[in-house]
Amino acid sequence: MQELLRTVFPSTATVNARGHLVVGGCDVVDLSMEFGTPLYVFDEQTLRERCREFLREFQARYRECQVVYACKAFANVALLRLLAEEGLGFDVVSGGELAAVRAAGVDSRLVYLHGNNKSRQELEEAVGWGVGRVVMDNFQELSMLEEVAAEARRVQEVLLRVSPGVDPHTHVHTTTGVLDSKFGFPIATGQAGEAVRLALASRHLRLVGLHFHLGSPIFETGPYREALRITLAFASRMREEGLALGEMNVGGGFAIAYTRDQKPPAVAEYAEAISEELVGQCRSLGLEPPRLTSEPGRAIVGPAGVAVYTVGARKAIPGVRTYVSVDGGMGDNIRPALYDATYEAVVANRAGQPPSERVTIAGKFCESGDILVREAHLPATQPGDLIALPAAGAYCPSMASNYNLAPRPAMVLVGGGSARLIRRRETYQDLLAADVP
């Protein structure tokens, strides 16, 4: 347990004298009684520590930099306010996420709009509100944004998302910066160069820099270096077209530990590799060092979140395996089914007990693929026990669905021994509210 607390649980996690898991000073058993399960518990201290670590490690190594939170990892108004307090910017990929950051009252100039197929309406909403940057992903969007900005009588600052053709060695579904990807203008084909010329010729767009996002999670620093070499060499060639590289945005993808054996680089190692490569390449190419932007999503919220479920049915198939079913699953965490993601699990109401059996933790959704943890080592569980999955803050609630018309879980923010509800559990009425009978 000590090893798990150190590697995958939020930094405040402990086990109390009753043998219960405690996060942010709150006994998880008490939380489950107050708010029900499935429940997502976010640790305020871990969230703040992650923001500060990113800012500190990048700022210590590079003169001018900004950390922008990728909202798609988890967007909730209370959480966004907390991250804004810590000084992060916000990267959104849809009109819905744009509405969330607006509702959180963040400074529009710190907002980046991404997406490979932004609608005209999304562009109008973004330009109308005055977002800091729109990150251009394709040729249609370049002409559409030029029109939208002209109508709004604005000059919109933009970045171009390039695809440098670098494989970050992660799951094929989360690889985004290779040549065969729906995202970005490929450098190798000359399309990125064409996009630079078009953007520079646009009267209502001001091209301030370049962006890439390679994929996620990336457990190595090498891909960032390689992508920087390719992209900066491209920026250098584009100088004669008139490109002045004012900003270099290296995307996100910073890995976290989901299981005790995973060893992601420290934030400092990513920051070191990125800033060293950026400084070194700029020096050798004779480029003015641009402002550096990074866009962590997973690495900010992932380690802060713990999912809590209640054990129900148990099915032992002699000689095969034992299924322990819980009251959530792929509706609130689709990552195991989608990417073969792996998690640790503990019994939160008996966190001090050593494991005594190997079971498969199944969800309650009507899919055989709805398995949360294929190989969990747990003390013998009974119905009513609580199972906690750490590292569940990113891409779990944000990818949640209402499959099987399951209400999506409640979420609490914990700190200093108190818990605040930041999203209530959905009701059946919520599920049916948009139906038109």
Q: Per residue, what are the HEC states of 137-161?
A: CCHHHHHHHHHHHHHCCCCEEEEEE
Please report how close the Cβ of residue 139 comes to ligand PLP at its closest, in angstroms.
18
Angle between the N-to-C axes of helices 267-285 and 44-59, in degrees from 0 to 180, rounded to the nearest 10: 30
Q: Which is nearer to ligand PLP, 182 or 424 (CB)?
A: 182
Q: Exposed, middle or buried, 198 (CB in 10 Å: 0-12/13-18/19+)?
A: middle
| Total residue count of the chain as it appears in this document | 437
Among 71, 63, 76, smallest CA distance to 88 is for 71
Q: Can you point out the beta strands (E) in 285-403?
A: 291-294, 305-317, 321-326, 346-347, 357-362, 371-378, 386-389
Nearer to ligand PLP, 22 or 84 (CB): 84
- Whole-number CA gyration radius for the chain: 23
CB burial readout 210-231, b (16+ within 10 A) else e: bbbbbbbbbbbbebbbbbbbbb
Q: Which is nearer to ligand PLP, 219 or 323 (CB)?
A: 219
Residue 166 CB, nearest approach to ligand PLP (Å): 15
Least separation in angstroms between CB 65 and ligand PLP: 15
Nearer to ligand PLP, 295 or 370 (CB): 295
Catalytic residue, chosen from 51, 71, 366, 396, is 366
Site of interaction with ligand PLP (CB under 6 A): 70, 72-73, 91, 114, 213, 216-217, 251-254, 295-299, 394
Rounded to whole angstroms, the Cα distance separating 137 from 134 reads: 9
Cα separation, 89 vs 92, in Å, equals 10
Contacts of 75 (CB under 8 A, 6+ apart): 92, 97, 100, 101, 398
Of residues 253 and 409, the one with the C-beta less far from ligand PLP? 253
Minimum distance of ligand PLP from residue 54's CB (angstroms): 10
Write the single-letter amino acid at 84: A
To ligand PLP, the closest distance from the beta carbon of 211 in angstroms equals 7
Nearer to ligand PLP by C-beta: 7 or 163? 163
Annotated active-site residue 65? The verdict is: no
Cα–Cα dist 127/205, whole Å = 11
Q: Whole-number minimum distance, CB 4 to ligand PLP, in Å?
A: 23
Residues identified as active-site: 366
